[in-house]
Amino acid sequence: MSIPSTLKFSALAGAMVSAALLAGCQSRDTASSALPPPAQVNMQRLLNADQEGGQWMSHSRTYDEQYFSPLNQINDTNIADLGLAWFVDLPTNQNIETTPLMIDGVVYITLPWSKVMALDAKTGKQLWLYDPKVAGAWNINICCGVDNRGVAAWNGRIIFGTLDGRLISLDAKTGEPVWSVKSTPDERRYSITGAPRIANGKIFVGSAGAEFDVRGYVDAYDVETGERLWRFWTVPGDPAAGFENKTMEMAAATWKTPGWWNTGGGATVWDAITYDAVNDLVIFGTGNGTPGDAVRRDAGQGDNLFVTSIVAVHAEDGSYAWHYQPTPWETWDYDTDQQLMLLDIDIDGQKRHVVSQASKNGFFYHFDAATGKLLSAVPFTDVNWATGVDLATGRPNVVPESRPNLTGKVFNLTPGPAGAHAWQSMSYSPLTGLVYIPATTHWQLIGPLDQRQKYLADHPDTKQTFTGRLTAWDPVAQREVWRSEEFINPAGGVQVTGGALATAGNLVFHGNLPKREFAAYRATDGERLWSFDTKTAVLAGGISYQVDGDQYVAVAVGGPMPGGYYAPNGARLLVFKLGGNTVLPDIPPFTEAPLSTAAQFADAATITRGAAVFEAQCQLCHGRNGAARSTFPDLRRSPALTSQESLDTIVLQGALSERGMGSFREYLQDGDTVALRAYLISLAEAARAQAAGSATPAR
Ligand code: CA
């Protein structure tokens, strides 16, 4: 194991100050009201995070991204006494995806619309709330909700990214901005939803936007000034403009169809970024290409580096170190942005420092963290797009039928585009040696729309399920040890489980969407020991921390509700401790607006045109066939359908911009909104007919 010289110094300094830190920890622990300046996080503290196991100072607590708490006051023998210590209502009804930090008695969380809140970790008293005032109209540049997954802390500062692409540093004590820089390029539809990571005074952050037209990248910034230090593009730009470096030239050789640069290429670094202190590398995952359909992106069938890849760059200057692409010429939306965990484990009887991922594509991978050499790839869920991975070449053995864009035939894909594992945290317990994966099984028909009905008729046993579970995975043997019960989301949608948190109390905490609960399992054998009725979906993962001698478990909850976009969704931060007996109030009842009764005014051709407009511009947020994701309004219930003028005021003139519905004028042609209104009325009519049918008693 070689440690860079800068780190040797840091490690030495860390050893020298650790005793003082521990002493400091005691005073911080017992005197939460008379604190030194908060969030004094630095390299020494983060490298020695296990010496302050009561803190949660970075996104996954440690640079290993293992998402494990070494606390054991709450354990498998006393968990029956775990109850709610306090909760805080969060001012939103949108999805909550944040992982809190807890540093020196203060909890920091993010809220939708890139807001940040600081709370007293013992009482829940709000210390400050910062709103970066992202313009509502920016929502049309966001694929998947106005989410944010967390902040980073360093030297008294709280650092986070915003939906409109700013990177902001706040004073941890006051919540006042210290600096703010525009991080994303101006000209395209970028957004930031992921948590930054910080090491040696450098902030590492990427962006989202590959559903639109962006060119992915990861950046490093000076944490004190906000100055950008380097940028690593994940796909090559227009060769005529010259390549930024040799790596881009190498990547460009894997794109066979000129013009890819016009749509940006995609490959955004929207979630996983891991700092490997052993090798001084920044290791990150990239998302789908743009367009997502590989044939439309590159009919020449190039691998398209670094789309859906794991890439390592040197932390110092952002220069390329290694890459691995699990799905060359990717076409199934198998983003590779899932958490990248560092493990020191035996592989084939040899101690190795590896980086591991439970990929959206269904395989659990190990790579040598220094070189990127593929060491193992084994499915952790149902997989039918590949029969395996060739360890010698690193390439998957792709099942030809899984590419309908080449065969012209329907295929029932698993994992479907929702994946086998998404952004939800997985957790590793060094005590059990198991990785706890929020895993899903998703089957989805892909291929020509007009053949799907016939396919279903010909294959009546076609699986079309989307289920989630907690899977305990032995990363050495590469096999499942246990799994929780399956969670089925009857309403559909793309999320079903929350993140996982393993603790030294032989527990794994894990929430879910369908049962609206936060549960604990015995880490060794998966026995379900405890659960709490959260009254709303749990999408994020929990953390655990200690203040004044008490261990707490905290989880931010809030997800889609049956009443849709306008319904209160019980978004809250819930904090538990042994003996906690706070009662969680019910969510106020809500009645959904009725389906529109606007009369159809158009012919079939206009409705068909409207369907195409809807699919191109509206479906991403408002749901396929109008079956809205409840995080955005169900347009079949919109009062605006009663008049063209009302609809145009919203769609073309941006009347609801501040609520997130910006003007689509630049994306629409003359007559599109008329067709759109006709289509939405047809959907409302169909839904009313279906409701009337199902209201008739069965005989
Ligand atoms: Ca994607």
Given the structure tokens 């004028």, which residue do they identify?
665
CB proximity list for 237: less than 8 A, separation 6 or greater = 215, 243, 244, 248, 261
Phi then psi for residue 402, to 5 deg, are -80, 0
CB proximity list for 134: less than 8 A, separation 6 or greater = 113, 114, 146, 162, 163, 164
Summarised one tens digit per residue, pLDDT across range 643-695 is 999 999 999 999 998 888 889 999 999 999 999 999 999 999 999 998 888 65
Instruction: Tell me the CA–centroid distance for residue 589 and ligand 1, in Å.
Output: 34
Q: How many CB atoms lie within 10 A of CB 8?
A: 11
Q: Of 147, 164, 219, 333, which residue is the catalytic one?
A: 333
Instruction: Tell me the CA–centroid distance for residue 298 and ligand 1, in Å.
Output: 17
The superfamily (CATH) of domain 68-578 is Quinoprotein alcohol dehydrogenase-like superfamily (2.140.10.10)
Report the pLDDT averaged over residues 315-335. Answer: 98
Q: Which DSSP letter does residue 98 get?
A: P
- pLDDT at site 140: 84
Instruction: Tell me the CA–centroid distance for residue 120 and ligand 1, in Å.
Output: 36
Q: Which DSSP letter does residue 614 get?
A: I
Instruction: Tell me the CA–centroid distance for residue 413 and ligand 1, in Å.
Output: 16
Q: Which DSSP letter does residue 696 get?
A: S
Report the pLDDT averaged over residues 544-555. Answer: 98
Beta strand extents in 475-594 (DSSP E only): 479-483, 487-488, 497-503, 507-512, 517-522, 528-533, 543-547, 550-557, 572-578
Summarised one tens digit per residue, pLDDT across range 185-241 is 998 999 999 999 999 999 999 999 988 889 999 999 999 999 999 999 999 999 999
What does each C-alpha distance from 600 to 124, 439, 548, 607, 613 come to in angstroms? 52, 43, 65, 10, 17
Instruction: Tell me the CA–centroid distance for residue 1 and ligand 1, in Å.
Output: 35
For residue 33, pLDDT beyond 90 = no
Instruction: Tell me the CA–centroid distance for residue 366 and ligand 1, in Å.
Output: 22
Instruction: Tell me the CA–centroid distance for residue 44 and ligand 1, in Å.
Output: 36
Summarised one tens digit per residue, pLDDT across range 567-595 is 999 999 999 999 999 999 999 989 989 99
Q: What is the dihedral of CA 488, 489, 493, 495, to 10 degrees?
A: -60
Summarised one tens digit per residue, pLDDT across range 242-280 is 999 999 999 999 999 999 999 999 999 999 999 999 999
Instruction: Tell me the CA–centroid distance for residue 211 and ligand 1, in Å.
Output: 7
Instruction: Tell me the CA–centroid distance for residue 340 and ligand 1, in Å.
Output: 17
Which residues are bridge partners to 358 per DSSP?
364
Q: What angle do CA 611, 613, 617 make, to 5 degrees?
A: 120
- pLDDT at site 240: 96
For residue 315, pLDDT beyond 90 = yes
Given the structure tokens 């901005």, which residue do they identify?
177
Compute the distance between CA of residue 565 and CA of residue 630 in angstroms, rounded to an integer: 5
For residue 27, pLDDT beyond 50 = no
In the chain, ranges of CATH 2.140.10.10 domains: 68-578
Compute the distance between CA of residue 557 and CA of residue 183 in angstroms, rounded to an integer: 29
Q: Among this protein's residues, is 533 annotated catalytic?
A: no
Confidence band for 627, pLDDT divided at 50, 70 and 90: low
Report the pLDDT averaged over residues 372-382. Answer: 97
What class is the 604-691 domain? Answer: mainly alpha
Compute the distance between CA of residue 40 and CA of residue 541 in angstroms, rounded to an integer: 24
Instruction: Tell me the CA–centroid distance for residue 333 and ligand 1, in Å.
Output: 5
For residue 436, pLDDT beyond 60 = yes
CB proximity list for 37: less than 8 A, separation 6 or greater = 156, 172, 173
For residue 19, pLDDT beyond 70 = no
- pLDDT at site 23: 35
In the chain, ranges of CATH 1.10.760.10 domains: 604-691
Confidence band for 7, pLDDT divided at 50, 70 and 90: very low
Summarised one tens digit per residue, pLDDT across range 387-402 is 999 999 999 999 999 9
For residue 628, pLDDT beyond 70 = no
For residue 696, pLDDT beyond 60 = no
Report the pLDDT averaged over residues 56-74. Answer: 98
Which residues are bridge partners to 120 per DSSP?
106
140 or 404: whose pLDDT is higher? 404
Q: What is the mean pLDDT of the chain?
A: 92
Instruction: Tell me the CA–centroid distance for residue 289 and ligand 1, in Å.
Output: 8
For residue 159, pLDDT beyond 70 = yes
- pLDDT at site 291: 94
For residue 631, pLDDT beyond 80 = no
Please state whether beta strands 281-285 and 273-276 pair in parallel, antiparallel, or not at all (unpaired).
Answer: antiparallel
- pLDDT at site 5: 35
Instruction: Tell me the CA–centroid distance for residue 297 and ligand 1, in Å.
Output: 14
Instruction: Tell me the CA–centroid distance for residue 287 and ligand 1, in Å.
Output: 6
For residue 623, pLDDT beyond 90 = no
- pLDDT at site 13: 34
Instruction: Tell me the CA–centroid distance for residue 268 and ligand 1, in Å.
Output: 9
Instruction: Tell me the CA–centroid distance for residue 180 and ligand 1, in Å.
Output: 28
Report the pLDDT averaged over residues 618-629. Answer: 75
Instruction: Tell me the CA–centroid distance for residue 67 and ligand 1, in Å.
Output: 23
Confidence band for 494, pLDDT divided at 50, 70 and 90: confident
Which residues are bridge partners to 102 per DSSP?
56, 107
Report the pLDDT averaged over residues 285-293. Answer: 96
For residue 127, pLDDT beyond 90 = yes
For residue 18, pLDDT beyond 60 = no
Instruction: Tell me the CA–centroid distance for residue 288 and ligand 1, in Å.
Output: 5
Summarised one tens digit per residue, pLDDT across range 68-122 is 999 999 999 999 999 999 999 999 999 999 999 999 999 999 999 999 999 999 9
Compute the distance between CA of residue 501 and CA of residue 314 in angstroms, rounded to an integer: 30
Compute the distance between CA of residue 116 and CA of residue 129 in angstroms, rounded to an integer: 6
Pick the closest to residue 311 from 216, 172, 397 (CA basis).
216
Instruction: Tell me the CA–centroid distance for residue 428 and ligand 1, in Å.
Output: 25
Phi then psi for residue 233, to 5 deg, are -70, 145
Angle separating helix axes 672-695 and 604-613, nearest 10 degrees: 100
Give percent of the chain above pLDDT 90: 83
For 271, the 3-state DSSP assignment is coil
- pLDDT at site 1: 33
Distance of CA 58 to the CA centre of its chain: 16
